[in-house]
Amino acid sequence: MLKRLITACLLFAAGTSFGQSAAERYIQLYKDDAIRKMNEYGIPASIILGVAMHESGSGTSKIAKYLNNHFGIKGRNENRQIRSSYKSYDSVDDSYDDFISMLKRHIQFSRLFERYSDYDYKSWAKGIQRGGYARSQTWASQVLAIINKYQLYRFDNRPGSDDATAYIRPVESVPVAKTYNVKAGDTLNGIAKKFDTTVKDIRDKNALSTTNLSVGQKLKL
């Protein structure tokens, strides 16, 4: 009788696993890792999972299977089983760590950690796209579609609800007034790129009739 019960339980577990989609299995496997990274670094768990699922086909792509690369990051490949320009990792966790490290290293991404909360996933997705993470102009909308389809936002640190499955619309980001003191060698184009804005926006905010700048000049950004 006990043997039959154990067999039935195993068959049920196997059937349940088999019935899950690749995306659902991926979420179960890596949601805890994503939450830990969120709590340590401040990037929404939904973004970590959403980007990983998009870039790795929920762990089914060749680079995910052979290189443990879940974020489409290019670099040195030390795995002889597959020729690829994508970076190889010893473990999936290393891939997750490198994704966070890459965002922290590059200024066009690192500023997102200061600008957005760990539940404003919409701003994060759009900010990562603006920073040039992918060439596709629809990349952010594709990641957001995954987040919404699987309700990945329920893993974020969202305030104001005791219901972990309830959707809370992220607070709209409030622009903070910033200024910049012009330094020797600065150009409007260079300043615009540095602060993720446009020359036209800087000229409009400062009522500039020319692109000429002077050292020490204070600009609104």
pTM for this one? Answer: 0.67
Torsion of CA 158, 163, 165, 167, to 10 degrees: -50
Q: Render pLDDT for 3-25 as a digit per residue (tens, 0 to 9).
A: 454 444 444 444 444 567 999 99
Fold classification of 2-155 (topology level): Lysozyme (1.10.530)
Q: Render pLDDT for 174-200 as a digit per residue (tens, 0 to 9).
A: 444 577 888 888 998 888 877 777 888
Q: How many CB atoms lie within 10 A of CB 148?
A: 15
Give how far Cα 156 sits from Cα of 45, 145, 205, Å: 5, 16, 35
What distance in Å separates the CA atoms of residue 51 and residue 32, rounded to the nearest whole number? 15
Q: Provide CATH code, domain 179-220.
A: 3.10.350.10
Q: Render pLDDT for 152-180 as a digit per residue (tens, 0 to 9).
A: 999 998 876 555 555 455 544 444 457 78
Q: Residue ranges of the domains in the chain? A: 2-155, 179-220
Q: How confident is the model at residue 210 (pLDDT cuts 50, 70, 90)?
A: confident
What distance in Å separates the CA atoms of residue 38 and residue 48, rounded to the nearest whole number? 8
Has residue 82 got a pLDDT over 80?
yes
